[in-house]
Amino acid sequence: MNRAKLIFNQTLMISTAILFGMGIRTAILFVTAGEYMISWQWYIPLSIIAVGFLCALASLILYDDSATGKVNMRVRVCLHCILVLAIVSLSGHFFNWYSSLAEYLIIVIMYIIIYAFVWIATVWMLKVDEKKINDAISEIRDEE
């Protein structure tokens, strides 16, 4: 997969995840405070895509082919987590996604849940693929 396609796919996935998070937040507001209507500034949908794109750029540090070893990869995942949180926080401030510390903390909690969910889903899919490939290899493998 070339980098442009990778960034495009990541932008779509991250933008969808942000929309999902905002959807959950508005649903909670509806249940707890009975708010039926949500009004957004004109630039909010565009800001979601812009943040998705910036986070996709950050994910390039994970998909660097020169990265080898478990420790290196774990360090990169930690760096990625912090970098994406910084992008979300700064963009959120710039685009007025939050106006108080409490709202910011809700966004941080949403981010942590989504980030953890994405990694759990990714590792699960990788392990499913790994098992399928190993099963197929064992059928054609030469004898040692």
Partner 1 sequence: MKVTINKAESYENESAVINAVAVTDEIRNAVDILRNNGASIPVISEGDTLMIRASSIYYIESVDKRTYVYTKDDCHETKYRLYELEEILGVNFLRCSKAMIINIKKIRSVRAELNARLSAELLNGERLIISRGYVKDLKKKLGVI
CB 22 within 8 A of CB 103: no
DSSP 69-92: SHHHHHHHHHHHHHHHHHHHHHHH
> Is 132 one of the binding residues for partner 1 (CB under 8 A)?
yes
Q: Which span sits near partner 1 by CB under 8 A: 23-31, 44-52, 63-71, 88-96?
A: 63-71
> Is 124 one of the binding residues for partner 1 (CB under 8 A)?
no
> Is 46 one of the binding residues for partner 1 (CB under 8 A)?
no
> Is 35 one of the binding residues for partner 1 (CB under 8 A)?
no
Q: Which span sits near partner 1 by CB under 8 A: 21-29, 39-47, 49-57, 129-137?
A: 129-137
